[in-house]
Amino acid sequence: MERSKVKNIFLLILGIFVVFLSLNHINTNIYATDDACPGMDDDSPECLDYLKDKLDDLGQRNTDIQTS
């Protein structure tokens, strides 16, 4: 009976460990991206301007592709 308890405790700890490793892997994949604004602070007004310019460029490229 004692061996069964040890086995169950070991399996429980192993299961918890696997869950945390899986969550860490998922979390790492979500946030493993390039900087939104290279060379500047992501919370700065310059970054916002940079992203607006990129959005405008993508909108123009989208329009060019649709008209081709």
Residues 43 and 29 in one domain: no
The pLDDT value recorded for residue 21 is 78
Residues 40 and 62 in one domain: yes
Same domain, 19 and 40: no
Number of domains in the chain: 2
In tens digits, the chain (68 residues) has pLDDT values of 588 888 999 999 999 998 887 776 665 555 545 677 888 888 899 999 999 999 999 999 999 999 88
Query: What mean pLDDT, rounded, does the chain reach?
Result: 84
Q: Do residues 40 and 55 share a domain?
A: yes
Residues 25 and 41 in one domain: no
As a three-state string, the secondary structure of 7-57 is: HHHHHHHHHHHHHHHHHHHHHHHHHCCCCCCCCCCCCCHHHHHHHHHHHHH
The answer to whether 47 and 37 have CB atoms below 8 angstroms apart is yes
Domain that holds residue 57: 36-68
